[in-house]
């Protein structure tokens, strides 16, 4: 069977599985809709958390950024994995003991204020919509290539699928769907990684293949290390060494910190720890999730290095008409572009894109073909740059094709990409809907609403959220991992300080929390919008505040949040005595002897 048919079978079967699970686990109450009834086992919750957390940014885009950026992309590995440990150890068990469905629910009750709750809802919406834009973009990319549709149509198809199991099943449906999605995505990520590691280095494990010597075409050891070879290849094309970084130390630190603290403040991950029966189970499920996450994250650097090496050696210097079929397929999707600047018919790769921005085509291949049969580009070419544009978000999806792996592996990766994007999209959409229906309506605006009405409001809010998310998926503000990094920065600047101080600082009051959240969110959001949308031409290290990029500015926003919250709390009235007792109580684990009985 060819790749196209196998892709339809693999993706179709996975969709049928997800929708079947959603129907089987249909939510019948608000507790099942919000936290799956609180009865999920730690292992299943660990797998669901891993799928929820390992989004399209992890599966599709992170290895692509590693392939292109090399050492600089280590911030994503350090920030996201370190952040999960921070969340699991420092926050999750205490939030679970507090016993609220959502982050705004915790903030509203801990800070005894519906204003604080409303501000938290606004923060949730900002963070979640920024994050979900990347997921919808990832879905569109998968469908654009493997179902041979336009990226925008792919986004719409993804919206329809998410609608079924997010709106129908709620958290109960999403949880068990995400267990299945984790199995699909991790298998899809590791299988080609193992294949390529064996082919290129002779090592079964990609983690060890990453540091091994490469084999020649006959399978003999060349004695040249993979990274040494890749350094030489990219430097010959005018790029910096793959193992050298171009980011400043301060920017690396601030991006890593923003990703770490943003992870610990992500509402769709935090809510996962409310779906298990006990506080102890929250810790156990966090450990399982970390194990499941590590399987992918320790393989990603190898996948990026394999892909970059194969890509350059396959494409550079080859006549366009002799390129492998995958190049033409991705070109049809609009995610690869070639401009024959010297009219020699060969594809010449070099540092830089052939033009600014993404390729724009004058029509389909049939409507507008160049001298070599390529799709004609309407962009103005730049001097002394590559003839090729390759969207880095396709690297993982194209990797099996570039490595000439079997057709079933290529189809499997397509199913894994869809699973990664949809699993996180569903979790985020549920967070948005629960924030609106539970925290805004039930807790603030219409407290007399019935459970049935609240459930209906949650589903309607999810529908509206899906539509808005689809728009952002069609009009994304950057690469998938970049967009997700912005979401983490917003979460770090808004949620992390008030959650941390809400648990460990009894003197923190509502005035401090509200002021801190508003300042942190407003500063970070304004900085990102200014450099990414208003004045993108100024988005350089020379113009950044303290040399910190938009991806890392969330750390500055977080520091401002801490400072403002602490200062305001010190000059305003202390929280009520019963709130201070609650703060003391949630830090004492159940079963801790006499202290727990106190």
CB-side neighbour CA atoms (13 Å) of 392: 23
- DSSP state letters, 98-111: HT-SSHHHHHHHHT
Contacts of 58 (CB under 8 A, 6+ apart): 80, 296, 297, 300, 420
Indicate the burial class of 449 (C-beta count within 10 angstroms; 0-12, 13-18, 19 or more): middle
In the DSSP assignment, the letter for residue 435 is I
Query: What's residue 532's pLDDT?
Result: 80
DSSP annotation string for 540-563: STTTSGGG--TTTHHHHHHHHHHH
User: What percent of the chain stands above pLDDT 90?
Assistant: 11
Residue 27 pLDDT greater than 60, yes or no: no
Cα 529 to Cα 531: distance, rounded to the nearest angstrom: 6
Residues 6+ apart with CB under 8 A from 527: 545, 550, 553, 556, 557
Domain C-terminal end among 395, 422, 443: 395
Across the chain, mean pLDDT equals 79
User: Does the residue 79 lie in any domain?
Assistant: yes
Residue 444 located in a structural domain: yes
Confidence (pTM): 0.77
Q: What is the pLDDT of residues 32-47, one digit of tens each?
A: 444 444 456 778 888 8
> For residues 458 and 421, which has the higher predicted lDDT (pLDDT)?
458
Mind spelling out the 3-state secondary structure of 474-498?
HCCCCCHHHHHHHHHHHHHHHHHHH
Residue 584 confidence (pLDDT): 83
What mean pLDDT do residues 382-404 have?
A: 81
Cα 521 to Cα 79, 126, 374, 422, 561, distances in angstroms: 20, 9, 45, 27, 8
User: Is the domain of 528 the same as that of 510?
Assistant: yes
Domain identity same for 383 and 428: no
Asked if 466 and 338 sit in the same domain, the reply is no
Q: Does residue 429 carry a pLDDT above 60? A: yes
Residue 349 lies in a domain: yes
Q: Exposed (0-12), middle (13-18) or buried (19+): which is 545, by Cβ within 10 Å?
A: exposed
For residue 312, being part of any structural domain is answered with no
Q: Please give the torsion angle defined by the CA atoms of residues 5, 9, 12 and 17, in that order, rounded to the nearest 10 degrees.
A: -170
Confidence of residue 26 (pLDDT cuts 50, 70, 90): low
Cβ burial, residue 83 (10 Å; 0-12/13-18/19+): buried
Residues 447 and 536 in one domain: yes
Burial of 406 per CB tally in 10 Å (0-12, 13-18, 19+): middle
pLDDT exceeds 60 at position 31: no
- Looking at the chain, the whole-number percentage of residues with pLDDT higher than 70 is 85
| pLDDT value at residue 592 | 43
Residues 334 and 266 in one domain: no
Give the total number of structural domains in the chain.
2
Q: 3-state DSSP: the chain helix, strand, coil percent, rounded to 5? A: 70, 5, 25
Residue with tokens 């699993």: 423
Query: Which CATH number characterizes residue 240's domain?
Result: 1.20.1730.10
pLDDT of residue 35: 46
Given this model, what pLDDT does residue 479 score?
55
pLDDT band at 565 (very low <50, low <70, confident <90, very high): very high
pLDDT digits (tens, 9 = 90+) for 186-239: 888 898 899 999 999 999 999 999 999 998 888 888 889 999 988 888 888 777
Show which of 395, 419, 443 is a domain's final residue: 395
Residue 367 pLDDT greater than 90, yes or no: no
User: 263: domain range?
Assistant: 3-307+406-594
Per residue in 100-137, pLDDT (tens digit) is 656 787 888 889 888 888 888 887 777 777 777 777 77
pLDDT of residue 173: 56
pLDDT for 512: 94
User: Which pLDDT value is given to residue 241?
Assistant: 84
Which tokens go with 319? Answer: 């006549």
- Helix 170-201 to helix 407-434 angle, to the nearest 10 degrees? 150
Please, are residues 549 and 541 in contact by the beta-carbon 8 Å criterion? yes
Mean pLDDT value across residues 88-93:
75
Statement to judge: residues 228 and 330 lie in one domain: no
Asked which of 374, 395, 416 is the last residue of a domain, the reply is: 395
Q: Is residue 481 part of a domain?
A: yes
Tell which wins on pLDDT, 557 or 176.
557
Q: Is the confidence at residue 267, as pLDDT, over 70? A: no
Q: pLDDT tens for residues 296-305? A: 888 989 988 8
Q: Specify the pLDDT at position 591.
A: 46
pLDDT of 208: 92
């Amino acid at each position: 069977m060819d790749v196209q048919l196998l892709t339809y079978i693999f993706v179709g079967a996975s969709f049928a599985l997800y929708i079947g699970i959603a129907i089987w686990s249909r939510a019948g109450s608000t507790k099942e809709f919000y936290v799956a009834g609180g009865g999920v086992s730690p292992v299943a919750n660990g797998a669901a958390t891993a799928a929820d957390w390992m989004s399209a940014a992890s599966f599709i885009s992170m290895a692509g950024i590693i392939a292109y950026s090399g050492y600089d992309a280590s911030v994503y590995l350090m920030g996201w994995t370190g952040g999960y440990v921070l969340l699991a150890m420092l926050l999750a068990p205490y939030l679970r003991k507090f016993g609220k469905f959502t982050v705004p629910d915790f903030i509203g009750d801990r800070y005894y204020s519906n204003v604080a709750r409303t501000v938290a809802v606004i923060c949730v919406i900002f963070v979640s919509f920024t994050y979900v834009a990347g997921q919808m973009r990832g879905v569109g990319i998968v469908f654009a290539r493997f179902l041979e549709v336009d990226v925008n149509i792919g986004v719409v198809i993804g919206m329809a699928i998410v609608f079924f199991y997010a709106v129908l099943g709620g958290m109960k449906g999403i949880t068990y769907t995400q267990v299945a999605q984790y199995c699909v995505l991790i298998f899809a990520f590791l299988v080609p990684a193992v294949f390529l590691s064996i082919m290129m280095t002779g090592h079964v494990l990609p983690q060890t293949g990453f540091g091994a010597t490469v084999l020649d075409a006959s399978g003999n050891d060349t004695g040249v290390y993979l990274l040494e070879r890749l350094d030489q290849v990219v430097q010959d094309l005018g790029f910096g060494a793959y193992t050298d970084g171009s980011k400043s130390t301060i920017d690396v630190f601030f991006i890593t910190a923003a990703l770490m603290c943003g992870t610990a403040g992500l509402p769709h991950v935090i809510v996962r720890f409310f779906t298990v029966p006990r506080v102890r189970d929250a810790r156990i499920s966090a450990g399982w999730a970390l194990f499941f996450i590590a399987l992918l994250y320790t393989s990603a650097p190898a996948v990026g290095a394999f892909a970059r090496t194969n890509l350059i050696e396959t494409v550079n210097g080859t006549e366009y008409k002799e390129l492998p079929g995958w190049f033409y397929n991705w070109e049809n999707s609009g995610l690869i572009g070639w401009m024959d600047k010297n009219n020699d018919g060969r594809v010449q790769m070099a540092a830089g894109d052939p033009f600014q921005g993404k390729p724009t085509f004058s029509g389909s291949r049939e409507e507008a073909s160049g001298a070599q049969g390529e799709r004609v580009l309407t962009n103005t070419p730049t001097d002394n740059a590559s003839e090729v544009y390759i969207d880095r978000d396709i690297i993982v999806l194209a990797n099996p094709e570039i490595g000439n792996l079997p057709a079933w592996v290529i189809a499997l990766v397509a199913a894994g990409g869809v699973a990664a994007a949809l699993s996180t999209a569903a979790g985020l959409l549920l967070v948005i809907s629960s924030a609106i229906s539970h925290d805004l309506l039930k807790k603030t605006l219409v407290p007399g609403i019935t459970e049935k009405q609240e459930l209906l409001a949650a589903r309607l809010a999810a529908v509206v959220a899906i539509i808005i998310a689809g728009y952002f998926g069609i009009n994304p503000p950057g690469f998938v991992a970049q967009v997700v990094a912005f979401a983490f920065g917003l979460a770090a600047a808004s949620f992390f300080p008030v959650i941390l101080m809400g648990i460990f600082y009894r003197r923190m009051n509502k005035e401090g929390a509200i002021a801190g959240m508003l300042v942190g969110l407003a500063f970070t959001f304004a900085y990102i919008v200014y450099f990414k949308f208003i004045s993108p031409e100024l988005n350089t290290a020379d113009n950044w505040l303290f040399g910190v990029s938009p991806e890392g500015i969330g750390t500055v926003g977080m520091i401002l949040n801490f400072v403002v919250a602490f200062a305001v709390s010190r000059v305003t009235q202390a929280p009520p005595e019963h709130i201070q007792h609650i703060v003391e109580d949630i830090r004492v684990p159940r079963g801790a002897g006499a202290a727990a009985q106190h």
